[in-house]
């Protein structure tokens, strides 16, 4: 069965520190993975997807099929990165979301 796990509910770091938000998945085929972000009082929005191998707002995520992980990383966190982050897996247009990690970047 498809599942996305985000083990941390809350992650607090200081500004300028590296940040890694963990995401593990279970999927039998070739996964299509995404990171979505929700800033305070805003709607859910796409941050990045593994297919495009892009870096958005300094964030990157690498698909590791051996470890079935898609962790989100940023070398130097900024206060404006504080938000809820959701990892998601697309299975034939049915998205499975993790329960989310709240990132709090302290000044």
Partner 1 sequence: GAGVSQSPRYKVAKRGQDVALRCDPISGHVSLFWYQQALGQGPEFLTYFQNEAQLDKSGLPSDRFFAERPEGSVSTLKIQRTQQEDSAVYLCASSFSDRASSFGAGTRLSVL
Q: How far is the CB of 26 from partner 1 (least distance, A)?
A: 15
- In Å, what is the CA distance from 43 to each residue of 37, 78, 83? 8, 20, 11
Residue in 4, 23, 33, 103 binding partner 1, rule: CB under 8 A: 4
With contacts defined by CB under 8 A, name the span among 20-28, 32-40, 60-68, 71-79 that binds partner 1.
32-40
Start-to-end Cα distance in the chain: 41
Residue 59 binds partner 1 (CB under 8 A): no
Residue 81 near residue 19 (C-beta atoms within 8 A): yes
Q: How far is the CB of 95 from partner 1 (least distance, A)?
A: 6
Enumerate the β-bridge partners of residue 61: 72
Residues near partner 1 (CB under 8 A): 4, 6, 32, 34, 36, 43-46, 49, 86, 88, 90, 92-100
């Amino acid at each position: 069965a498809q599942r996305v796990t985000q083990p941390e509910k809350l992650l607090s770091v200081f500004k300028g520190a590296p940040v890694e938000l963990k995401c593990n998945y279970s999927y039998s085929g070739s996964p299509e993975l995404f990171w979505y972000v929700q800033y305070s009082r805003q709607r859910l929005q796409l941050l990045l997807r593994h297919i495009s191998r892009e870096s958005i707002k300094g964030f990157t995520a690498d698909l590791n099929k051996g470890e079935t992980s898609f962790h989100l990383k940023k070398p130097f966190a900024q206060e404006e990165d504080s938000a809820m982050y959701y990892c998601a897996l697309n299975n034939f247009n049915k998205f499975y979301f993790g329960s989310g990690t709240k990132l709090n970047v302290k000044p």
